[in-house]
Amino acid sequence: MFVAVSHSDEKRITIYSSNYLSGFLKLKQVRLPKDAMLSNTFTLMDTSESQVFLFIENYGIESPFGNLYISDEKGTTFTLSMSKVIKGTAVDFEKISALDGTFMINRYNNDVGNSKLKSKQQVKEFDESDLISYESKKSKLQRPETL
Amino acid sequence: MIGTNGINWVSSDCGGNIRALNAGKKVQEFMFHPTQKTWALAASWTSCAEFKDEPCKIFKELFVTKNMGEEWTYITNYVYDFEWGQSKFAVDNAKKALKIPDERIFVTKDAYATGHQSATKNSTWSTKIDLFMSDDFFKTNQLLITSGNTLVKTP
């Protein structure tokens, strides 16, 4: 279980998690890279591969990008999986159901075109955004525990 | 089946017979129990028609049924998010985990609110909303985390 806890500024949150082993009662703040510890919001993208994909809007709520983080098996420690993942009304993240551990992500590529995109409109004009098939490194692990 | 105007429908024989859920209120949100098929939580917003002798207050109330909507019991008010605490995965792996009571629920709520409940919580986080848990539908409850605004349950 993931919980958004309001920061004192009431604009940002920190994220706590717990799992079934404690009856979901032992909530602990998740460990994220420093620039993601406080965010505007978060989206749980997938929990099916004994790991959690978490999308965090750490470029600000107006930005058309966010970062994707991947957890350990307990869902408490996260590392950066993919930066500058594109979000519109939903995050451009899709699990490929027929291929275990395979996800597709739409990501802005810094190396092509204007590197200072500021609005969603500019993203629409930027048709060369990469379509990346990202195979999780952990996909070959056996399925031990779900959160 | 979620109907219009808060009137909802249920079938326990794959659609052979369908009846209206007798909530007595317009139910906007439903959540069936992960392991008890006749249990459900439901949330409903108050309407001004309910306040005849006092100023109108619009807030979200939480109810529970244990007989597929025949009877509903009030749980608590000024609710934002709610979830069952039970998990099918936890039941299937009961030897490894603490036994979770089927009655366990998690609720984020403003325990001190008295007027209208803001319906725009998601655009502004609030330090007045806290995460609570209860194993007896809020006859007793426990504050789990201060300023816990919203929750996403995992299996």
Residue A145 falls inside a structural domain: no
Residue type, B136: D
Q: What is the mean pLDDT of each run of 10 residues along chain A (147 residues)?
A: 94 93 94 92 88 89 90 92 91 89 85 48 35 39 41
Residue A146 falls inside a structural domain: no
3-state secondary structure of B4: helix
Under a CB-based contact definition with an 8 Å cutoff, are residues A108 and A86 in contact? yes
Residue numbers of A between 10 and 49 with CB closer than 8 Å to B: 10-13, 16, 19-25, 27, 41, 44, 47
Other CB atoms within a 10 A radius of the CB of residue A98 amount to 6
- Residue predicted with more confidence, A136 or B60: B60
Domain ranges of chain B: 4-145
Which residue range forms the structural domain that includes residue A36? Answer: 2-138
Interval B14-42: pLDDT, tens: 888 888 876 677 888 889 999 999 999 99
Q: How confident is the model at residue B148 (pLDDT cuts 50, 70, 90)?
A: very high
Residue A98 falls inside a structural domain: yes
Predicted local confidence at residue B15, as pLDDT: 86
Residue A100 falls inside a structural domain: yes
Residue A103 falls inside a structural domain: yes
Sheet containing B29-32: order of strands: B29-32, B40-45, B60-65, B73-77
Nearest residue, CB atoms, A20 vs list B97, B125, B133? B97
- Pseudo-torsion of CA B34, B40, B46, B50, nearest 10°? -170
Asked if B120 is an interface residue toward chain A (Cβ–Cβ < 8 A), one would say no
Predicted local confidence at residue A49, as pLDDT: 78
Residues of chain A contacting B126 with CB distance shorter than 8 Å: 6, 10
Predicted local confidence at residue A145, as pLDDT: 44
Predicted local confidence at residue B136, as pLDDT: 97
Shortest distance between the Cα of A27 and any Cα of chain B, in A, equals: 8
Number of domains in chain A: 1
Under a CB-based contact definition with an 8 Å cutoff, are residues B24 and B77 in contact? no
Query: What's the CA angle centered on B55, arms B77 and B63, to 5 degrees?
Result: 20
Predicted local confidence at residue B95, as pLDDT: 78
Interval B96-142: pLDDT, tens: 778 899 999 999 999 998 888 875 555 579 999 999 999 999 999 99
Residue A130 falls inside a structural domain: yes
pTM of the model: 0.81
| Residues B117, B129: Cα–Cα separation, whole Å | 11
